[in-house]
A and B are shown apart, each in its own frame.
Chain A
Amino acid sequence: MTVESGGATTAAPTFQPREAEQLVQLLTPEGERIEHPDYPLDLTAADIRAMYRDLVLVRRIDTEAISLQRQGELGIWASLLGQEAAQIGSARALSPQDMVFPTYREHGVAWCRGIDPVKLLELYRGVSHGGWDPEEHKFHLYTIVIGSQTLHATGYAMGIQRDGAVGGEDAEAVVAYFGDGATSQGDVNEAFVWASVFNAPVVFFCQNNQWAISEPLEKQSRIPLYQRARGFGFPGLRVDGNDVLACYAVTKKAMQAAREGQGPTLIEAFTYRMGAHTTTDDPTRYRLASELEVWKLKDPIERVRAYLVRTGQAEPEFFAAVEAEAKEVGARVREACRTMPDPPPLSIFDNVYAEPTAILSEERERYAAYLETFEEAGR
């Protein structure tokens, strides 16, 4: 700790986490399958192939979206590059009745919940603020104000308790996604307090991608994030966030515990944001290229491919078919984005209240009349 003469602390002691410590891993970066006593895997070869397909397709959608932003078709895009395994693994561990509260980067989770990727593009193109029905997909709207959704998730989980939907066959639970930066937010800490004292059936899934825009993890925490849970009175664990099998296994177990009435769990998925924060960001200003090179060796997709090939669980035709499908999905997303119409101007006034107020109706009428004056000018 450095203390200047004025007494101001300029640097806090940095806790150096031993990365291997406590890290749950079932598939190494080289594609070696390893066993963990607490997390036996219940997946078939077909399940793992399906996850590989998910990983490839969401990366392709992401790549398309970045291109569409560069071409002026999207205002902005928040890339999930590098975080595919954390998202697909955790989302595939959910039951259909579980509820998801995402951030704005959960494109992989959205994919698993059956949200058309084009709906995600609507938000980033500026056509809507989120065009899907959250209850239909059990996937809430993207939340942009950092950490706010963790409280919604916790309240929803308290509703599940009041509905008597904890324990038993049809039990439900909630998962709240957020990032490393969000762990500094008051709302996230309040959500931890609430979930703990009410024993709410909610799993906090933190994708620690090491960077909150330009701020490294050391700006958020002196201890590994998963260890925070202990202070709130519930279990926390760290999983290899680039290992789709491990993310699946730990989420499955934590969700099951929540459904059975054992309360919340904090999962820290240790991963890496391989791209920029969003398309407006330039990571070369604050991090070294060498760091990215290290993480490229831990790529979440390559290790699954290596595993499937090595164990003979997938033929070359399978990979070719996934590649072809990715191209198709990419083309469809591209076309749908480019041809997406702007919403009609007067839709500005829709859905502010259950019924429009007199003041709102008057504004709408006046603006409609104003627009009418342009009719003859060839609008």
Chain B
Amino acid sequence: MTTLTLSKALNAGLRKALENDPKVLIMGEDVGKLGGVFRVTDGLWKDFGENRVIDTPLAESGIVGTAIGLALRGYRPVCEIQFDGFVYPATNQIVSQLAKMRYRSRGNVSLPVTIRIPFGGGIGAVEHHSESPEMLFAHTAGLRVVACADAADAFAMIQQSISCDDPVIFFEPKRRYWDKAEVDTVSGVTRAMPLDRAKVVLEGTDVTLLAYGPLVRTCLESALAARQGGPGNGHSIEVIDLRSLSPLDEETICASVRRTGRCVVAHEAPVYAGLGAEIAARVTEQCFYHLEAPVLRVGGFATPYPPSRLEDHYLPDLDRILDAVDRASGY
């Protein structure tokens, strides 16, 4: 076991992928000599050369579009989109080209492209640097959409995404890049949990609390606070890290809700038409007779992401999450 930040764990995972498969390429803006604006690709350009770690021109559609061409040629490109708010120029290439190629070609073509996107707020950034656009992609058939929440998962999930034969949109919780955890970098990913499964990170009996990416830690802290008294006093909260947003691991979610009878979903993305809405519909359909309360959602408002001096109001924090838990428990 090694103690690594989430950012370093991603770096180690990318390095493993580059070592294990000569077809793996890294491409994006500033990913080479600089090592990426968050240093996730630090040192890879030096060790693997500019043919495999490619500093691209500044155009996101170009990054994804040429990655598709490289994948058609048999490569496994890993694209970095520098910030969440910069992915939209690549939307045509992701939604109309990357996601649909297998379907359009009747299975003749696989596009094993991974698109890494640092996402979410909480770092005091200027506009377009704090968004959560995951549902645009989760709503697109043909894409897998995942979000890592800790260093150990980051290390394994990035390698699993790269070796996956489907395109994967890989969301990285940018405000957790510096969080440390124990990472098993020796035994590789063979023993890791499959990419499309959710993980129970804290067991509990009263309420199921679902999150992904940056809010997993917030939810964990909420659950621990609730056990120690204070807000949400006395509730035993089960926290699940969804990990895969598309497809969704309904089995793990519903098994938990059937035990607890209550479900709260938290994400930074706007509540309106967010992943919580899909989960609420599915849980209601599948766990109807087990539910003691409606599925509640806590998340961003139906507004653009606000100026950073207001982001603490916008982002779900411990208190807002436990407020939702209290409301769910009040039924």
List chain A residues, Cβ under 8 A from B110. Answer: 354
List chain A residues, Cβ under 8 A from B67. Answer: 155
CA distance A240 to B211 in the complex (A): 61
Please report which residues of chain A, range 111-154, place their CB below 8 angstroms from some CB of chain B when the two chains form the complex.
128-135, 140-141, 143, 145, 148, 150-154
CA distance A351 to B101 in the complex (A): 9
Asked whether A129 lies within 8 Å of B103 as measured between CB atoms, the reply is: yes
Q: Say yes or no: is B236 at the interface (Cβ < 8 Å to chain A).
A: no
A148-B93, A148-B97, A351-B103 known; A160+B73 contact, CB < 8 A: yes
7 contacts between A and B (CB under 8 A): A131-B106, A148-B93, A158-B69, A190-B62, A354-B164, A358-B247, A358-B250
A129-B103, A152-B72 known; A353+B142 contact, CB < 8 A: yes
Please report which residues of chain A, range 60-119, place their CB below 8 angstroms from some CB of chain B when the two chains form the complex.
none
List chain A residues, Cβ under 8 A from B107. Answer: 350-351
CA distance A158 to B110 in the complex (A): 18
The 6 closest A-B pairs by CB, nearest first: A155-B69, A151-B65, A159-B73, A155-B66, A190-B62, A357-B247
Q: Say yes or no: is B303 at the interface (Cβ < 8 Å to chain A).
A: no
Q: Which residue of A lies closest to B89 (CB)?
A: A186
Q: Which residue of A lies closest to B52 (CB)?
A: A162
Taken residue by residue from 273 to 305, chain A's Cβ proximity to chain B (1 for < 8 Å, 0 otherwise) reads as 000000000000000000000000000000000
A128-B106, A194-B57 known; A156+B73 contact, CB < 8 A: yes
Asked whether B247 lies within 8 Å of A190 as measured between CB atoms, the reply is: no
Asked whether A159 lies within 8 Å of B75 as measured between CB atoms, the reply is: yes
Taken residue by residue from 96 to 108, chain B's Cβ proximity to chain A (1 for < 8 Å, 0 otherwise) reads as 1100111111111
B102 CB → nearest A CB, Å:
5
By size class, the interface of chain B is 35 or more
Q: Output the residue of A130, A153, A155 with the most chain B CB within 10 A.
A: A155
CA distance A357 to B142 in the complex (A): 10
Q: Say yes or no: is B311 at the interface (Cβ < 8 Å to chain A).
A: no
Q: Say yes or no: is B109 at the interface (Cβ < 8 Å to chain A).
A: yes
A145-B96, A186-B89, A351-B102 known; A191+B73 contact, CB < 8 A: no
Q: Say yes or no: is A359 at the interface (Cβ < 8 Å to chain B).
A: yes
CA distance A155 to B77 in the complex (A): 10
B308 CB → nearest A CB, Å:
30
Asked whether B106 lies within 8 Å of A350 as measured between CB atoms, the reply is: yes
List chain B residues, Cβ under 8 A from A354. Answer: 102, 110, 164-166
Q: Which residue of B lies closest to A131 (CB)?
A: B106
Q: Say yes or no: is B233 at the interface (Cβ < 8 Å to chain A).
A: no
Asked whether B251 lies within 8 Å of A358 as measured between CB atoms, the reply is: yes
Binding site for B on A (CB under 8 A): 128-135, 140-141, 143, 145, 148, 150-163, 186-187, 190-191, 193-194, 197, 350-354, 357-360
Q: Which residue of B lies closest to A362 (CB)?
A: B250
List chain A residues, Cβ under 8 A from B71. Answer: 155
Asked whether B57 lies within 8 Å of A187 as measured between CB atoms, the reply is: no
A128-B106, A133-B108 known; A191+B65 contact, CB < 8 A: yes
Q: Which residue of the partner chain, among B68, B100, B105, B165, contacts A155 with CB atoms under 8 Å?
A: B68
List chain B residues, Cβ under 8 A from A353. Answer: 102, 142, 144, 166
List chain B residues, Cβ under 8 A from A162. Answer: 25, 51, 70, 73, 75
Q: Which residue of the partner chain, among A132, A151, A160, A360, contacts B68 with CB atoms under 8 Å?
A: A151
List chain B residues, Cβ under 8 A from A197. Answer: 57
Q: Say yes or no: is B202 at the interface (Cβ < 8 Å to chain A).
A: no
Q: Known pairs A129-B103, A152-B66, A154-B65. 6 more at Cβ < 8 A?
A: A129-B105, A134-B72, A155-B71, A155-B72, A352-B103, A352-B142
Q: Say yes or no: is B292 at the interface (Cβ < 8 Å to chain A).
A: no
Q: Say yes or no: is B141 at the interface (Cβ < 8 Å to chain A).
A: yes
Asked whether B65 lies within 8 Å of A148 as measured between CB atoms, the reply is: yes
List chain A residues, Cβ under 8 A from B100. Answer: 129
Q: Say yes or no: is B59 at the interface (Cβ < 8 Å to chain A).
A: yes
List chain A residues, Cβ under 8 A from B329. Answer: none
